[in-house]
Amino acid sequence: MRTVAVGLLGCGTVGASVLRLLEARRDIIEDIGVNLEVAGVLVRDPHRERDVPQGTRVTSDPSFLMECGLVIEAMGGVDRPLDLLRPYLRSGRPVVTANKAMLAERWDELRQYALDGDLYYEASVMAGTPVIGPMSTVLRASRFESLEAVVNGTCNYILTRMEGGDAYEDALAEAQRLGYAEDPPTLDVGGWDSAHKLAVLARFCADGDFALSDISVRGIDTVTPHDIEEARRAGERVKLVASLRRDGDGWAASVAPTRLPADHPLCTAGASRNAMVYRGEECGELIFAGGGAGGTITASAMVGDVLDNLIGFPGHVPLH
């Protein structure tokens, strides 16, 4: 048995679920030959009562980070997590993260760590529905053509509730209560969270340097009940669609509310679920669908990444 000290940044919707799942999968971790010890859990308010395994060190002091052999980042934000991770990453140690905003916006700095196999980020896109795994491995054999995806659970939840007659504000408040939304939720409804995820995906199939600024972004904040009713009458539904396709020698990338036939594969993903239609020349059309937001489903991908690291698999390596 070797002992691996793990540090966790954040203990909110995702972080607390990760802690619980690590505890529940202790048997599998021990089968790999690892005694996993949680060295510390970083939060803003260490005095708040939390549902964490007894004895967990919950603290606002990040000094435990440099003791760790693996760090799991589930705090969100862009510069704050990167400032904390920078010295640790520079020492060549691995990070598991669900933070698509940081990945999308600080790629200049993070790309080399990803190329080195030190970043694991399956949960950053479509939460527990694995798309980064296949896109960073087997799908590379096929020439990428295009993808369209519903990658934001909050927006999908809001649009689905609006179809049922609920007000936009009520549906958003409920998505926040359920732990789906970003902080602030304008990242979701403004289309930015989808754009962050599209940038992450594009680096596996289009260009390893793909920039967030190359995506045209519109959110659902201007979608009205009238738009939804008009679509329904035409046998269509309104979805926030992220799309990427070849465009001459470059790429066309966008996030926008889009009317789709009600039987389109992107429409079969209800409420907070996500879906992606992926096309490659040799692999043909593939459809991925599943849970896209929420603590437990996101933790399933993050703990999967932890297991990959403990087994010895590298992180998710983008195009060179």
Binding site for ligand HSE (CB under 6 A): 127, 152-154, 180-182, 188, 193, 292-293
Give me the least distance between CB of 271 and ligand NAP, in Å please. 13
CB-wise, 148 or 188, nearer to ligand HSE?
188
Give me the least distance between CB of 231 and ligand NAP, in Å please. 26
CA dihedral 100→144→208→275, nearest 10 degrees, is: 0
Residue of 197, 203, 259, 316 marked catalytic: 197
Closest-approach residue to ligand NAP (CB): 12
Interface with ligand NAP includes 179 (CB under 6 A)?
yes
Closest-approach residue to ligand HSE (CB): 154
Interface with ligand NAP includes 126 (CB under 6 A)?
no
Tokens of 193: 């969270």
Interface with ligand NAP includes 282 (CB under 6 A)?
no
Interface with ligand NAP includes 315 (CB under 6 A)?
no
State the binding partner of 128 from ligand NAP, ligand HSE, none, CB within 5 to 8 A by kind: none
Residues 29-68 close enough to bind ligand NAP by CB under 6 A: 42-45, 48
Q: Identify the CA nearest to 88 among candidates 145, 138, 42.
A: 42
CB-wise, 160 or 298, nearer to ligand NAP?
298
Sign of CA dihedral 226, 227, 228, 233: positive
Could you confirm whether 239 is annotated as catalytic? Answer: no
Interface with ligand NAP includes 200 (CB under 6 A)?
no
Give me the least distance between CB of 118 and ligand NAP, in Å please. 18
Residue with tokens 């907070």: 272
Interface with ligand NAP includes 76 (CB under 6 A)?
yes
Interface with ligand NAP includes 294 (CB under 6 A)?
yes
Sign of CA dihedral 68, 72, 74, 76: positive
**Cα 103 to Cα 4, 26, 77, 216, distances in angstroms:** 25, 29, 10, 18
Positions in the binding site for ligand NAP (CB under 6 A): 10-15, 42-45, 48, 74-77, 80, 98-99, 123, 127, 179-180, 182-183, 293-294, 298
Which residues have a catalytic role annotated? 197
